[in-house]
Structure 1
Amino acid sequence: MDKDQFNSNRDGKNIIHNKMIERQSEARTIRRIVLIICLALILIIGGVGLGGYLYVKSALGPVNPQDKTPKTIEVPIGSSVSSIGKILEKNDIIKNATVFKYYVKLNNESGFQAGSYDLTSAMSLKEIVTSLKTGKVLKKAAMKITVPEGLQIDQIADIIAKKTGTTKPEVMKKLDDQAYIKKLMKEHPDLLKKDILAKDIKHPLEGYLYPATYSFYEKKTSVDDVIDTMLDKTESVLDQYQGEMEQKKISVHKVLTMASLIEEEATAKADRHKISSVFYNRIDEGMPLQTDPTILYALGEHKGRVYYKDLEIDSPYNTYKNSGLPPGPIASSGDTSIEAALNPEKTDFLYFLAATKTGEFYYSKTLEEHNQKKAKYITSNN
């Protein structure tokens, strides 16, 4: 080997050696960077977790352990856990209404009584919950609002207007106001989702104002208070079905939509679970639901009969032209219809009809069978 070749080989080895040193150095640097990033993430996650833990721990404690001044708190009849939490937070009895709500749920607390309570800011959540189970109604309601099952939102608005001294157009304007609806969505995040703001929805809160009798204890109750109380009631009713809805992977919006169809079709003699099964069976078969109440809702009319010409209305709520559920609820449904919407009876029925005179319901598996019953129980009675 000559001298030049020897030097060349030596230079080559030096270059390889230097590159190896550089790669080792880069690898060490990368490992340091990865380690720093991992440590930073651990600290951030730990910090967030610790912050959340400390926040919840703080919210579980008294607002002010030194302030033992009694405050008279009124809990109206029919109040949900959410509405009680808001009342307590507003009066500085608890720190956070949401934490209170989940504390009650996680501890399976129930049996809260409407009434008048002397509570203090120094009380723990456990003491407050214990007190709420012993209430007595000491105050007579200043106003009561009764909303029957199956009413549409414009009919409910009329009732609210008369009781609060406002006008129906004013109430409807508020119920359709986007800014107001978004505010309510923040206050009721578990109930009001983005579904209610879909472009085809006629009225965002249709079907979300629970039908019941409400008592109010203030001499002048605002429209906002009435709506908030009704939404609280809807939340409390749906809370009992939360696990079932999660298991069946069905949203609140779909449950209330199906329940409203059942509510509008059912009579006192109807089996809501069978009606529910017909609707679900038709959806599974890809058949339109063809339910007349959706036509009336699309027309914006309250009348007793649907004509063939009405079936041609161009509307996303027309279940004769469109398959599946309508965009949203068409009325406010009660607990029995909500339960039926979640638990349809297992049947092969695809049709049902109500006899004109008796109100009895008849179910069929085929169109031929349905038409025979229609001729027997409806046409022959006209």
Structure 2
Amino acid sequence: MKKSKSRMITIIISSIAVILVAITVGGYFYVNSQLQAVDTADKKAVIVDIPAGSKVSEIGDILQNNNVINSSMIFTYYVKYKNETNLKAGKYKLNPSMTVEQIVSELKKGEVVAPSKLVIPEGYTLDQIADRMVNYQPTLKKEDILKVMDDKAFINELITKYPDTVTNDVLAANIKHPLEGYLYPATYEFSGKTDIKTMISDMVKTTDANIAQYKPELTKQKMSVHKFLTMSSIVEKEATANVDRNKIASVFYNRLKANMPLQTDPTVLYALGKHKSRTMYKDLKVDSPYNTYKNKGLPPGPISNSGKTSMEATLHPEKTEFLYFLANTKTGQVYFSKTLEEHNKLKEEHITSNN
């Protein structure tokens, strides 16, 4: 009886041992499988955004949601077991063929494929802004961004949403791009994969917020937002770091008052759709309502966005009698003159002599 009982205990203990070994071995193989690639054959890049301040478990969730790891829980255990505490935030180009070890290695290097913030400089056109958006969120396509920017239904949504800023003026027949000049130069930060409309709408919202402070003065001067942004974009594109923008604005207002064409090169380049360091005489012949050498008055709409300094110069131009100005491209110095004779003399001294 005692032998039988003893034998039974031995069998039970042996069975438990076998089960524990099986569980241990099974657990090892399970964990190991979860640390391997999701799909060794899938090398298609996935842009994964790891926000600053993310916990390890949150990073694991993001990676699993993007289908580049098998298990957030196993990822978290692995990182803590390996004591990998220096994972860096940013946007990474990963793919399902990578193992957890390889992904952790990438997050430690911190070699991000896109900036964490979208910076839109002053004087940028929609075309340049689209390039910045693609750089910020590489999964976007430039042609899709430009298509949304010109989508009439979307424009009408913005007109309804921001009626004080975006008006039917942007849909005039001669307008090249309705939202040109309406995307404010600033630093933006979007979470995850933000859609194109949301990003653009946020930039228009920022323009709306910044223009609000100028509304009383615009009303006083009987100037529409569209004309305001059009003139300020020209001032923005013509100004250099060393120039008094209020004087630049005064030249354009004086020419409008004298019924003279504005004759500003940036409008010609905008009509051409090109970025050139120098405008040639043949360029001035381009047939476009934006060509201010061939057409008097303001162009149909803005030629770029504009910053606060140019906006304020547009509202408060200096009182001068200047009708001309030119910039020395080497020094950045700008020279103003009242007559064409003075202008040509300055051109000979500061431009022709430098060539």
TM-score bracket relative to the smaller structure: 0.5 to 0.7
Counterpart mapping for 1:347-366 below 5 A: 347-366=320-339
Aligned residue number for residue 181 of structure 2: 207
1:263 aligns to 2:244 (yes or no): no
1:327 aligns to 2:300 (yes or no): yes
Q: Distance in 1 between matches of 2:226 and 2:260?
A: 21
Q: Distance in 1 between matches of 2:155 and 2:200?
A: 11
Aligned residue number for residue 197 of structure 1: 171
Q: Distance in 2 between matches of 1:368 and 1:162?
A: 47
Counterpart mapping for 1:197-236 below 5 A: 197-216=171-190, 218-236=191-209
The amino acid of 1:254's aligned partner reads: K
Q: Distance in 1 between matches of 2:231 and 2:187?
A: 23
One of 203, 216, 227 as aligned partner of 1:254:
227
Aligned residue number for residue 61 of structure 1: none
1:275 aligns to 2:248 (yes or no): yes
One of 320, 341, 346 as aligned partner of 2:319:
346
Q: Distance in 2 between matches of 1:356 and 1:231?
A: 33
The amino acid of 1:325's aligned partner reads: L
1:370 aligns to 2:347 (yes or no): no
| Structure 1 residue 279 displacement after superposition | 0.1
| Structure 1 residue 230 displacement after superposition | 0.6
SS of residue in 2 equivalent to 1:363: strand
Q: Distance in 2 between matches of 1:317 and 1:250?
A: 20
Aligned residue number for residue 75 of structure 1: none
The amino acid of 1:227's aligned partner reads: I
Number of aligned residues: 240
Q: Distance in 2 between matches of 1:315 and 1:323?
A: 12
The amino acid of 2:323's aligned partner reads: L
Q: Distance in 2 between matches of 1:182 and 1:143?
A: 31
1:152 aligns to 2:119 (yes or no): no
TM-score by length of 2: 0.67
Aligned residue number for residue 179 of structure 1: 153
Counterpart mapping for 1:49-64 below 5 A: none
Structure 2: give runs of 5+ residues left out of the alignment.
1-114
Q: Distance in 2 between matches of 1:200 and 1:356?
A: 32
| Structure 1 residue 222 displacement after superposition | 1.5
- Kept after mapping to 2: 8 A contact 1:350/1:364: yes
Counterpart mapping for 1:90-169 below 5 A: 143-164=116-137, 165-169=139-143
Aligned residue number for residue 313 of structure 1: 286
Q: Distance in 1 between matches of 2:352 and 2:165?
A: 43
SS of residue in 2 equivalent to 1:357: coil
- Kept after mapping to 2: 8 A contact 1:260/1:333: yes
The amino acid of 2:342's aligned partner reads: E
| Structure 1 residue 143 displacement after superposition | 4.1
SS of residue in 2 equivalent to 1:353: strand
| Structure 1 residue 356 displacement after superposition | 2.6
Q: Distance in 1 between matches of 2:257 and 2:308?
A: 25
- Kept after mapping to 2: 8 A contact 1:158/1:167: no
Q: Distance in 2 between matches of 1:355 and 1:306?
A: 14
Give a deviation string over 1:357-379, Cα, whole Å, max 9, x none. 11101000000000010000111
Q: Distance in 2 between matches of 1:366 and 1:274?
A: 15
SS of residue in 1 equivalent to 2:117: strand
| Structure 1 residue 278 displacement after superposition | 0.1
Structure 1: give runs of 5+ residues left out of the alignment.
1-141
Q: Distance in 2 between matches of 1:222 and 1:289?
A: 39
Give a deviation string over 1:221-253, Cα, whole Å, max 9, x none. 121221111111101110111100001100000
The amino acid of 2:140's aligned partner reads: T
Aligned residue number for residue 259 of structure 2: 286
| Structure 1 residue 162 displacement after superposition | 2.9
Question: How much is the aligned-residue C-alpha RMSD, in angstroms?
Answer: 1.0
SS of residue in 1 equivalent to 2:189: strand
Q: Distance in 1 between matches of 2:329 and 2:170?
A: 35
Q: Distance in 2 between matches of 1:245 and 1:356?
A: 33
SS of residue in 2 equivalent to 1:376: helix
Moved segments of 4+, more than 4 Å? none
Greater Cα offset, 272-281 or 233-242: 233-242
- Kept after mapping to 2: 8 A contact 1:356/1:381: no
The amino acid of 2:247's aligned partner reads: K
Identity %: 58
